[in-house]
Amino acid sequence: MRIFTSMQEVTVKGFLTLTLVLGIAPIALGQISLNVYDADEITPFDCNGHTMVGTRLTLIVSSDSNDYWSGGLFITGQDRALGTLGGRDYDPNTRDWTGSHFEDAGDLAKVTEWRDSFIWGFDFYTFYPVNGNSEDNSTVPGDWFIIDYYADEVGECNVGLYGYNISWDEPNYCITFHNVPTRDLYSDEVVDFHDFAVFSSRWGDIGCVDPNWCNGADLDRDGDVDNSDLGLFIDYWLWPASNNGPDEPDIPDEPNYPEDPNITYSIVDAYGLDEITIDVNSTITLYVDIASSNDNDVWAFDIEVNISDTNLGLIDNTEYPDGTAQILAEPNRIEFADYWGPGSEQEEGIRLSAVTWDSAIADGHLASFVFTSEGQGDVILELINWVSFNTDSREVFPRLESIVIHQVDPNSQQMMGMGGEMDEMLGTEETELSESQIDDLVNWLERLWNQEKEIRDAFSKTEWNEFINNVENLN
């Protein structure tokens, strides 16, 4: 008896659930289900959509029965060039893929690989009698088997699910994975600015042909690189967001850093200061700025801000639109590349990225975020540059400047000691100040206004400026 159901007919809640009846005995019926997830084994995968070449998915076979069952997952014929099924933790002594069967499948469960000139895949057994003993009852309803699917080449790859109580040579059900061209044009297993640099370098090209397709940028294979290819590219921006398994976090390696003195990224406050004082439990908006003297300025960046002591403060790294962070780089920014969220180094950091189209990012603000002081003491916010490109699509390594935040208890009267610092600058004896001493004093008073909330609460800006003018005229 042959039973064949297309994937379009059996989708539930956006992911695939395939069911077949176990005809063990009239009184012992069960259901086998096959669920498809992202590589994290948690996120349901929509089999009606596309699978980018290079993607790994997980196929989990489950049952509501505790009966003996045998079956398998296989790819046949020419489809074997399009996708691969992979088992986990092979034991050469028992020829069992021990990591591909779960505890619920029972103590005697087994997964074996089968390859011949036509069919590749895996056989599954929930009970494998050794001495004719059928008393085993360790198989229980639940998840039984797990197999990985790898999208290798463009095309429609069919994966058949077999229940051997029904058929040995025909699949009972079939999943069709629609494999589409990779967006990982840089071949580093992530879709980011490296890949966009390759894509943009072929923008407007015509005459793209097989097998190169303009370095892969002609994603729709129509012979040119245009807006339709851009739309296809951004579908997988920052892939794989969840493609790594739970034990394989997506943490990039910090690059070898030949610092470019002509480009600077810095963290500053609204007044451009890189050393400030704020009250404990207060919040402040900070900025990541760029300054460049190069003709070929930065047009794409992926950076991170980290906190030196997470016990003393935190950054609001909530995802848009609920968070307070903003991407501010201009002009002609491409919004699909905007990103802000938890940093890869620590959850309390923030990752910021953006790209402009055919133009350098103007000097000034790249992004902003809100920092909250949570304890008394000094905190340093440091920058990591994961990748930046100039308008020649060459990777550059800007100089990175941190910000120092002095966090004080507003009730500790610490600020009352500012007179001592002024006495030190003026000297204890009545003497005429030099011009340089007056300049130093004026600069200090201007910084004091920007840094100290108590000063701004006690005096108006006009009153403080009048005081500074009087200092300038001391002699």
What would the DSSP string read from start to end of 406-471? Answer: EEE-TTS-GGGGHHHHHHHHH-SS--PPPHHHHHHHHHHHHHHHHH-HHHHHHS-HHHHHHHHHHH
Given pLDDT bands bounded at 50, 70 and 90, which one contains residue 21? very low
Question: Tell me, what amino acid is at 353?
Answer: S
For residues 144 and 150, give the distance between their C-alpha atoms in angstroms, rounded to a whole number. 20
**Most confident of the ranges 141-145, 189-193, 417-421:** 141-145
The answer to whether residue 431 scores a pLDDT higher than 90 is: no
Mean pLDDT for the chain overall: 82
The pLDDT value recorded for residue 265 is 97
Question: Closest by alpha carbon to 403, among 267, 262, 216, 236?
Answer: 267
Length of the chain: 475
Which has more confidence, 421 or 187?
Answer: 187
pLDDT of residue 474: 67
Residues with Cβ < 8 Å from 466, sequence gap 6 or more? none
Q: What pLDDT score does 133 carry? A: 56
Q: What is the pTM of this model?
A: 0.67
Q: 10 Å Cβ neighbour count for 45?
A: 21
Q: Per-residue pLDDT for 24 more than 90? A: no
pLDDT value for 136: 59
- State the pLDDT at residue 343: 77
Mean pLDDT confidence for 345-373: 88
Of the ranges 97-111, 185-199, 340-354, 438-452, which one carries the lowest mean pLDDT score? 438-452
Q: What is the pLDDT of residue 241?
A: 61
| 76-85, 168-177, 208-217: least confident range | 168-177
Cα 389 to Cα 184, 227, 266, distances in angstroms: 17, 22, 17
The matching CATH number, chosen from 2.120.10.70, 2.60.40.4130, 1.20.1050.10, 3.40.50.800, for 182-250 is: 2.60.40.4130
Q: What is the pLDDT of residues 259-298, one digit of tens each?
A: 998 999 999 999 899 999 999 999 999 999 999 987 778 9
Q: Compute the distance between CA of residue 446 and CA of residue 468 in angstroms, rounded to an integer.
A: 8
The region of weakest confidence among 104-118, 287-301, 322-336, 415-429 is 415-429
Convert the pLDDT of each residue in 114-168 to its tens digit: 999 999 999 999 975 555 555 556 888 999 999 999 999 999 999 999 998 887 8
> What is the predicted pLDDT for the residue at 100?
97
Domain map (residue ranges) of the chain: 7-180, 182-250, 260-408, 414-472
| Averaged pLDDT for residues 80-92 | 95
Counting residues of the chain whose pLDDT is more than 90, the rounded percentage is 49
Highest mean pLDDT among 23-27, 169-173, 413-417: 169-173
CB distance 364 to 290 below 8 Å: yes
What pLDDT is stored for residue 422 in this prediction?
53
Q: Looking at residue 313, what is its pLDDT?
A: 92
Confidence band of 13 (pLDDT split at 50, 70, 90)? very low
Q: What pLDDT band is residue 468 in, cutting at 50, 70 and 90? A: confident
Q: Of 316, 327, 318, which is closest to residue 367 (Cα–Cα)?
A: 327
Candidates 84, 76, 152; CA nearest to 117 is 76
The three-state secondary structure class of 361 is coil
Q: Long-range CB contacts (< 8 A, 24+ apart) of 98-105? A: 99/146, 100/145, 100/146, 100/147, 101/144, 101/145, 101/146, 102/142, 102/143, 102/144, 102/145, 102/146, 104/139, 104/140, 104/141, 104/142, 104/143, 104/144, 105/139, 105/144, 105/145
Is pLDDT of 385 > 70?
yes
Within this chain, domains 7-180 and 182-250 share the same CATH topology: yes
Q: Which CATH class is domain 7-180?
A: mainly beta
pLDDT of 429 strictly over 70: no
For residue 243, name the pLDDT band (cuts at 50, 70, 90).
very low
pLDDT-based confidence at 218, cuts 50/70/90?
very high
Give backbone dihedrals phi and psi of 231, rounded to 5 degrees, phi first: -60, -40
- Mapped onto helix, strand or coil, the DSSP state of residue 303 is strand
- Amino acid at site 40: D
Q: What is the CATH number of domain 260-408?
A: 2.60.40.680
The rounded radius of gyration (Å) of the Cα atoms in the chain is 31
Q: How much helix, strand and coil, in percent to the nearest 5, is found in the chain?
A: 15, 35, 45
